[in-house]
């Protein structure tokens, strides 16, 4: 350790100590990370968060990746109004019952009270249906696969940054099809887009499955979901895709003339992913030093940190390296502010930047640098001339290691229960998913929730038969269900 | 003309006739274009528009170009809440007076009435100030240059797609600086970013200048603006950049300790451009066949149209060309639906796609295609093997021709008035900008507006002295002003 590094250990420690250990208090750890990494700031409106540059840059990366994948499947972007007239919201019975209790109402515009209240969109099914009822006339107009990136509002009492807030950012896709089969295919396709994105880019393995009727979207025929396991063993619903059948089409009169000149109802889907997924990135990969961002989603992939930067030639060489990395296409930054390396290391670690490159006088003399991985803290000595080549390997290895580690953690925190005692013991003592059989009766779902606070996460597409009977009532089982406590 | 083309003339005409001629009724022409090009659709909420895929794709191109330019100047993106508590909106006196009459108020959240009303953001100065008052403490924290892409709401009685609507999309940049000089430099820098973007990408020449006190932003020390001239001779304010001095900082307590350890107020700016600019693209470049999009902003730059596509080899060759163009980096599409070429030509023209490539059996035999420019309808015969090379030249020529044409139109519609009779005659008989001297007195500005409905557009940065006296009152003149009727 150089003198410079040595002198900064105290300062370094202080920064790191500001984050509560995740084993001591996971909830506080999460809040600390979100705040210290400067992802969000609280606002004057209770329950609404400000997404700061470090947080928003992650969302921009997510948008870019998802948007590209959407467009590859033929999706087009649109923008729908922020407001929904009360009468329009009420057109689909289940839908309004699901959302009305948690919407914000505009009752005055300018100086005048409104004749009809407008709700601030909690989701935009009703607006898309209204549009489709006007622009879909013939089978030639189908399918329409629209998406929008926007914010939505849900009046939540208890809020937490990214996980649950009164306003959040998301995308909502809404499609309309000629047949039930096409709608079903699109519902599955978009769930797969989400799952692949999470695995390939966010290094988060997902369980894909179907929600029970109790947990499905208000107005949907079927809701498919991807469920992830957080570090503390709680589940997080990370994206959903809904098949509406022709329910909304009937409520909104979305009809078209088919090839035989018959007037028939269209079939619809909707699907969404929100800033909530940033919470998943934090809680799956983070550690006691802060965020750990998977290289493919990190807004900054590598931070060049000059050591003893006042010494002749160091800053020059560090900048040269930084420029080489940028030219090679890395999302690189250089931290050349007048602070001690230890402070810079802690800063880079809190922010979860996947790698840092330490470059000091001795390194330069030896024609090498030290690449440090954020996830393992492994130090890799690389020749200066080879950094631009080697770094992509290091980042790709880190990416796949992170996915592997998350998968192992999830598998190690997935237990099996074949009777109610085992089930209750698992909820109590083994944080994580619990796989158990279910009779299909909502009463059992409710009882489990009341007894244990665990909820049905999904009926996985990959069904296994681990017992013949329902884990709760003992009657013949219909489905394997993933259960868990959830965010 | 081939037989195929001949048979479609009638159909072609019908589509084109659906657009009112701009010389007959410019307002109706605008509405027709917006609707027929499928840029927007009206919604169930009076005054709110739905931006359809063709319209939103233009906005995405604008976002991409502007966002890149912002980031090159060190701007970072954030997201602020949609709602502003009434008490926060009221902190800066001029600001609240300017905006309160046109905001939407949320008075109920979920099932409960709110204790304090929330307004739906008409602009977010107050939220950014509130944030800056909390995160700016030392000169080391400065500058902060934040921007957000979002929608805002202003309760307008009379609305028109893109030009004026109750809700519109925009970006709003908000910066905070140590000194007045830095704030002034940023205000000018961002106005230049807007002006350069409009000229280089949208092919719209801009007059840069300063707004009079009467026309400036509520709460600003100075507002700079870019003003464009539409085809009908009306002006459109296309982007603004405001210097707030330390007025908002004093109202919101944004103070920092400077290098001498003294507590001082910060200086701020804000700047915005909105979906309104799409209205400018339409009204500067459009013609009686529809939209004409400048190649650099066009979501689709070239449409490949197979002629007699049922004949052997045509579709195959057309697709080959389409793939070549895509591989070469063009934003290309192929229109191979089972419709007549005339219908496809009209469709491509209405949507303003800069070029189409006609490829039929005879062309293939001759080893050539016909490239047709949307703006001039010029037909350019190009060898098939050379299309990928030649097309970029054609598009670049079209881009610069469009700018030149718009500049000539503007200059031909800019008149000079040295006395009030000339001024009134110009407003009456010469649609366009009027350059005239002004004494600096608001009374003259008001009188001109009342007498003629023309308003002061800006005091251009490039001042000339065309007379010694105010065009209205005859007293000594202080400034040259661009006047005009405006959208």
Q: Which pLDDT score, from 0 to 100, does residue A374 have? A: 98
Buried b (16+ CB within 10 A) or exposed e, B291-316: bbbbbbbbbbbbbbbbbbbeeeebbe
Q: Which pLDDT score, from 0 to 100, does residue A16 have? A: 53
Q: Taking CB atoms and an 8 Å limit, are B106 and A83 in contact across chains?
A: no
Percent above pLDDT 70 for chain A: 97
Half-sphere exposure of B285 (CA within 13 A, CB side): 36
Q: What burial class does residue A343 get, using C-beta atoms within 10 Å of its C-beta: 0-12 exposed, 13-18 middle, 19+ buried?
A: middle
Question: Are the CB atoms for A436 and A471 separated by under 8 Å?
Answer: yes
Percent above pLDDT 70 for chain B: 97
Percent above pLDDT 90 for chain A: 91
> Which chain B residue's Cα is nearest to A51?
B79
Q: Mean of the pLDDT values across residues A28-43? A: 96
Size of chain B, expressed as the number of residues it contains: 487
> Which residues make beta-bridge pairs with A150?
A170
Q: Taking CB atoms and an 8 Å limit, are A43 and B169 in contact across chains?
A: no
Q: Taking CB atoms and an 8 Å limit, are B131 and A76 in contact across chains?
A: no
Q: Which pLDDT score, from 0 to 100, does residue B268 have? A: 98
Instruction: Give the model's confidence band at A7: pLDDT under 50 very low, under 70 low, under 90 confident, else very high.
Output: very low
A26-36 vs A276-285: helix crossing angle, rounded to 10: 110
Closest CA to B29 of B38, B39, B21, B18: B21
Q: Which pLDDT score, from 0 to 100, does residue A8 have? A: 45
For the stretch B303-323, pLDDT in tens is: 999 999 999 999 999 999 999
- B106 CB within 8 Å of a chain A CB: yes
- Name every chain A residue with its beta carbon within 8 A of the beta carbon of B131: 41, 43, 50
Cα distance between residue A16 and residue A349, in whole Å: 9
Q: What is the mean pLDDT of chain B?
A: 95
For the stretch A442-457, pLDDT in tens is: 999 999 999 999 999 9
Q: What burial class does residue A79 get, using C-beta atoms within 10 Å of its C-beta: 0-12 exposed, 13-18 middle, 19+ buried?
A: buried
Closest CA to A333 of A313, A348, A314: A348
Q: Mean of the pLDDT values across residues A70-96? A: 94
- A312 CB within 8 Å of a chain B CB: no
Give whole-number Cα distances, B263 to B183, B255, B256, B258, in Å.
Answer: 18, 6, 5, 6
Cα distance between residue A334 and residue A336, in whole Å: 6
Q: Which pLDDT score, from 0 to 100, does residue B94 have? A: 86
Q: Which pLDDT score, from 0 to 100, does residue B16 have? A: 53
Question: What is the bridge-based pairing of β-strands A332-334 and A355-359?
Answer: unpaired
Q: Which pLDDT score, from 0 to 100, does residue B301 have? A: 98
Q: What is the mean pLDDT of chain A?
A: 95
Cα distance between residue A268 and residue A256, in whole Å: 13
Q: Which pLDDT score, from 0 to 100, does residue B7 have? A: 42
Greater model confidence, A266 or A96? A266
Give yes or no for residue A192 having a pLDDT over 80.
Answer: yes
- A298 CB within 8 Å of a chain B CB: no
For the stretch B336-353, pLDDT in tens is: 998 999 999 999 999 999
Q: CA torsion sign, A7 to A11 to A12 to A13? A: positive
Residues 6 or more apart in contact with residue B194 via CB below 8 angstroms: B206, B226, B238, B239, B241, B271, B273
Cα distance between residue B160 and residue B147, in whole Å: 26
**Least confident segment among A98-102, B56-60, B406-410:** A98-102
Q: What burial class does residue B430 get, using C-beta atoms within 10 Å of its C-beta: 0-12 exposed, 13-18 middle, 19+ buried?
A: middle
Q: What burial class does residue A441 get, using C-beta atoms within 10 Å of its C-beta: 0-12 exposed, 13-18 middle, 19+ buried?
A: middle
Give whole-number Cα distances, A246 to A180, A215, A243, in Å.
Answer: 8, 20, 9
For the stretch B462-485, pLDDT in tens is: 999 999 999 999 999 999 999 999
Q: Which pLDDT score, from 0 to 100, does residue B59 have? A: 98
Q: Who among A80, A85, A105 is closest to B50 (CB)?
A: A80
For the stretch A339-350, pLDDT in tens is: 999 999 999 999
CA A422 to chain centre: 31
Q: Mean of the pLDDT values across residues A373-388? A: 98
Closest CA to B225 of A293, B217, B233: B217
Cα distance between residue B199 and residue B65, in whole Å: 13
Q: Which pLDDT score, from 0 to 100, does residue B213 have? A: 96
Instruction: Give the model's confidence band at A17: pLDDT under 50 very low, under 70 low, under 90 confident, else very high.
Output: low
- B39 CB within 8 Å of a chain A CB: no
Helix (H, G, I), strand (E, B) or coil at B68: helix
Cα distance between residue A180 and residue A178, in whole Å: 7
Q: Which pLDDT score, from 0 to 100, does residue B406 have? A: 98
Q: Mean of the pLDDT values across residues A374-383? A: 98
A&B contacts, CB < 8 Å: 147
- A52 CB within 8 Å of a chain B CB: yes
For the stretch A120-163, pLDDT in tens is: 999 999 999 999 999 999 999 999 999 999 999 999 888 999 99
Question: Are the CB atoms for B126 and B88 separated by under 8 Å?
Answer: yes
Q: Which pLDDT score, from 0 to 100, does residue A9 have? A: 47
**Least confident segment among A356-370, B85-99, B142-156, B179-193:** B85-99
- Name every chain B residue with its beta carbon within 8 A of the beta carbon of A105: 106-109
Is the link from the previous residue into A143 a cis peptide, with omega within 30 of 0? yes
Cα distance between residue B290 and residue B349, in whole Å: 6
What are the respective helix, strand and coil percentages of chain B, to the nearest 5?
40, 30, 30
Q: Who among A77, A101, A167 is closest to B81 (CB)?
A: A167
Question: Are the CB atoms for B431 and B445 separated by under 8 Å?
Answer: no
Give yes or no for residue B220 having a pLDDT over 90.
Answer: yes
ipTM of the complex: 0.94
Q: Which pLDDT score, from 0 to 100, does residue B158 have? A: 86
For the stretch A287-335, pLDDT in tens is: 999 999 999 999 999 999 999 999 999 999 999 999 999 999 999 999 9
Q: Taking CB atoms and an 8 Å limit, are A45 and B103 in contact across chains?
A: no
Is the link from the previous residue into B487 a cis peptide, with omega within 30 of 0? no
Q: Which pLDDT score, from 0 to 100, does residue A19 have? A: 93
Question: Are the CB atoms for A431 and A468 separated by under 8 Å?
Answer: no
**Alpha carbon distance, N-terminus to C-terminus of chain B:** 43
> Which residues make beta-bridge pairs with B184?
none
Q: Mean of the pLDDT values across residues B129-144? A: 97
Q: Which pLDDT score, from 0 to 100, does residue B230 have? A: 98
- B97 CB within 8 Å of a chain A CB: no
Give yes or no for residue B77 having a pLDDT over 90.
Answer: yes
Closest CA to B328 of B400, B373, B386, B401: B386
């Amino acid at each position: 350790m150089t003198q410079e590094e040595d002198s900064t250990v105290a300062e370094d420690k202080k920064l790191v100590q500001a984050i509560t250990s995740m084993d001591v208090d996971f909830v506080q750890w999460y809040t600390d990370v979100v705040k210290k990494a400067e992802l969000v700031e609280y606002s004057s409106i209770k329950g609404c968060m400000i997404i700061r540059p470090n947080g928003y840059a992650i969302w921009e990366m997510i948008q870019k990746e998802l948007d590209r994948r959407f467009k590859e499947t033929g999706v087009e972007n649109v923008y729908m109004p922020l407001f929904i007239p009360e009468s329009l919201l009420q057109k689909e019975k289940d839908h309004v019952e699901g959302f009305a209790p948690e919407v914000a109402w505009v009752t005055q515009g300018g100086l005048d009270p409104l004749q009809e209240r407008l709700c601030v969109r909690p989701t935009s099914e009703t607006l898309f249906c209204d549009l489709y009822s006007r622009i879909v006339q013939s089978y030639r107009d189908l399918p329409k696969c629209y998406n929008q990136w926007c914010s939505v509002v849900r009046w939540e009492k208890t809020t937490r940054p990214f996980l649950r807030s009164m306003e959040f950012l998301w995308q909502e896709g809404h499609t309309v099809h000629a047949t039930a089969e096409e709608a079903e295919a699109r519902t599955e396709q978009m769930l797969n887009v989400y799952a692949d994105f999470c695995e390939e880019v966010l290094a988060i393995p997902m369980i894909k499955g179907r929600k029970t009727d109790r947990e499905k979207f208000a107005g949907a025929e079927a809701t498919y979901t991807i469920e992830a396991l957080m570090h503390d063993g709680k589940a997080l619903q990370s994206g959903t895709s809904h098949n509406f059948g022709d329910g909304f089409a009937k409520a909104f009169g979305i009809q078209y003339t088919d090839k035989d000149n018959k007037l028939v109802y269209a079939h619809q889907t909707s699907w969404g992913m929100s800033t909530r997924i940033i919470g998943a990135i934090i809680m799956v990969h983070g550690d006691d030093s802060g965020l750990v961002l998977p290289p493919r989603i990190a807004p900054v992939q590598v931070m060049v940190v000059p050591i003893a930067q006042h010494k002749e030639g160091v800053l020059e060489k560090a900048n040269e390296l930084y420029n080489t990395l940028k030219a090679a296409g890395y999302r690189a930054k250089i931290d050349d502010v007048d602070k001690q390396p230890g402070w810079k290391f802690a800063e880079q670690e809190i922010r979860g930047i996947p790698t840092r490159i330490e470059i000091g006088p001795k390194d330069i003399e030896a024609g090498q640098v030290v690449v440090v991985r954020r996830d393992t803290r492994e130090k890799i000595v690389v020749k200066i001339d080879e950094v631009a080549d080697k770094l992509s390997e290091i980042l790709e290895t880190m990416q796949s290691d992170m996915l592997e580690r998350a998968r192992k953690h999830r598998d190690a925190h997935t237990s099996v229960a074949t009777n109610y005692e085992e089930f209750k013991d698992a909820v109590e003592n083994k944080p994580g998913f619990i796989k158990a059989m279910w009779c299909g009766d909502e009463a059992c779902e409710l009882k489990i929730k009341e007894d244990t606070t665990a909820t049905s996460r999904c009926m996985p597409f990959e069904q296994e038969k681990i017992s013949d009977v329902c884990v709760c009532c003992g009657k013949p089982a219909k489905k394997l269900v993933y259960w868990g406590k959830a965010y």
